[in-house]
Amino acid sequence: MKKRVLVSGGAGYIGSHVTVELIQAGYDVVVADNLSNCDLTCFEGVKKITGKDDIPFEKIDCCDYASVDRLFSEFRIDAVIHFAAFKAVGESVAEPLKYYRNNLLSLLNILEAAKTHGGCNVLFSSSATVYGETDKLPVTEESPRQPAISPYGNTKQICEDILRDTVKATAAYGNEVMPGIDKPGPVKGTALRYFNPIGAHPSALIGELPRGVPNNLVPYITQTAIGKRECLSIFGNDYPTPDGTCLRDYIDVVDLAKAHVAAVARMLEGRMAEDYEIFNIGTGRPVSVLELVNTFEKVNNLKLNYRFTPRREGDITAIWADPSRAEKELGWKAQRTVEETLAAAWAWEKHLAGKE
């Protein structure tokens, strides 16, 4: 029987790419999303890419336990990939309660339902932000986490801990009768720490759809190139890096999606070395902001309007991954070049412009 994966937040940027890869790898998928930060554009794109018109879509809010519980009752769910969360760093500083309530409660509900319905595999969408600023680069999964500088970053750390503790506590479930729980079962957990996801599907049918002014670099670049924004600000050119701009590890969103499929397969096929595992998902290649801008111009044969402005508060100088654990354990490695990724990002922006 085909295994079924619940993708919470599956209509969003990363969730939609993961849904495509899961279906193409032969899984059944249920997409759950409250559409608070996206519409159905990408979900429709997923249907076109996969040629599957009957992907179950549930418009639910994971902060509502009854809705999550109902999903687990209606569908036999073998694994959950939990994306549903808020992700704007600046907004989280202004509205910490909104971030803590949404990001923590949705995971708590998923885990509660997972253990109550006989146990489940849960993959959590974490972030390299947990490492903070460090001189020891690249970062491995053993690199210490640093105190978070934003509530958003803090929710990633707390959620990792909630998952880890739940996995530990539920390991014995199924062997003993738990008061108040009919069919308790163990939860197994994987946290994927993403570096900087960018790009779009090569079909240009799904991609990033920021609401309002983009916070992240690549959507700002593509919106400037298409004329929606006047000028890209490069935040700081006085960092202690080769060209003075920050270094990041930009990971293609399709490569990132494939890492989820590899991690889910490892869980479903009983190949985990520990019941809770963590993997860095990056390329291992640092790229500067200026290099990224120059590559975007070159590969798409255009000139971008940009200027240097002061540093953005909270930005770290440099971070990139040591992705060797993912390569060894998951058999996954980033494949696409920055050039391919930036060409795909531009094709997606043009696709959006064509629809307007």
Catalytic sites, residue numbers: 152
Q: Which of 3, 17, 87, 266 binds ligand UFG (CB under 6 A)?
A: 87
Residue among 87 and 336 whose Cβ is closer to ligand UFG: 87
Contact call for residue 217 and ligand UFG (CB under 6 A): yes
Q: Which of 146, 233, 241, 337 binds ligand UFG (CB under 6 A)?
A: 233
Contact call for residue 204 and ligand UFG (CB under 6 A): no
Residue among 14 and 29 whose Cβ is closer to ligand UFG: 14
Site for ligand UFG in 300-339 (CB under 6 A): 312, 315
Contact call for residue 246 and ligand UFG (CB under 6 A): yes
Cβ(336)–Cβ(252) below 8 Å: yes
Residue among 44 and 91 whose Cβ is closer to ligand UFG: 91
Pick the closest to residue 22 from 271, 279, 263 (CA basis). 263
Exposed (0-12), middle (13-18) or buried (19+): which is 354, by Cβ within 10 Å?
exposed
Cβ(351)–Cβ(204) below 8 Å: yes
Q: Which of 67, 215, 241, 337 binds ligand UFG (CB under 6 A)?
A: 215
Q: Tokens in use for 246?
A: 């920050």
Q: Which of 220, 296, 332, 346 binds ligand UFG (CB under 6 A)?
A: 220
d(CA 172, CA 159): 21
Q: How far is the CB of 91 from ligand UFG (least distance, A)?
A: 11
Contact call for residue 129 and ligand UFG (CB under 6 A): yes
Residue among 69 and 315 whose Cβ is closer to ligand UFG: 315
Residue among 73 and 140 whose Cβ is closer to ligand UFG: 140
User: Positive or negative CA dihedral for 144, 273, 62, 257?
Assistant: positive
Site for ligand UFG in 260-289 (CB under 6 A): 289
Q: How far is the CB of 126 from ligand UFG (least distance, A)?
A: 10
Contact call for residue 153 and ligand UFG (CB under 6 A): yes
Identity (one letter) of the amino acid at 344?
Answer: A
Residue range at the interface with ligand UFG (CB under 6 A); choices 45-53, 71-79, 176-184, 215-223: 215-223
Q: How far is the CB of 351 from ligand UFG (least distance, A)?
A: 21
d(CA 142, CA 151): 23
Residue range at the interface with ligand UFG (CB under 6 A); choices 48-56, 75-83, 216-224, 332-340: 216-224
Q: Tokens in use for 338?
A: 């920055």
- The three-state (H, E, C) secondary structure of 5-43, written as one string: EEEECCCCHHHHHHHHHHHHCCCEEEEECCCCCCCCHHH
Residues 6+ apart with CB under 8 A from 80: 5, 6, 7, 8, 110, 114, 120, 121, 122, 123
Cβ(22)–Cβ(5) below 8 Å: yes
Q: How far is the CB of 150 from ligand UFG (least distance, A)?
A: 7
Instruction: Give the pairing type, strands 276-281 and 232-235.
Output: unpaired
Contact call for residue 127 and ligand UFG (CB under 6 A): yes
CB atoms within 10 A of CB 66: 8
Indicate the helix (H) or strand (E) that contains 127: strand 120-127
User: Positive or negative CA dihedral for 77, 83, 86, 89?
Assistant: positive
Indicate the helix (H) or strand (E) that contains 58: strand 57-58
Residue among 24 and 216 whose Cβ is closer to ligand UFG: 216
Q: Which of 225, 234, 278, 281 binds ligand UFG (CB under 6 A)?
A: 234
d(CA 90, CA 79): 32
Contact call for residue 89 and ligand UFG (CB under 6 A): yes
Q: How far is the CB of 101 from ligand UFG (least distance, A)?
A: 18
User: What residues line the site for ligand UFG (CB under 6 A)?
Assistant: 87, 89, 127, 129, 152-153, 196, 215-217, 220, 232-235, 246, 248, 289, 312, 315
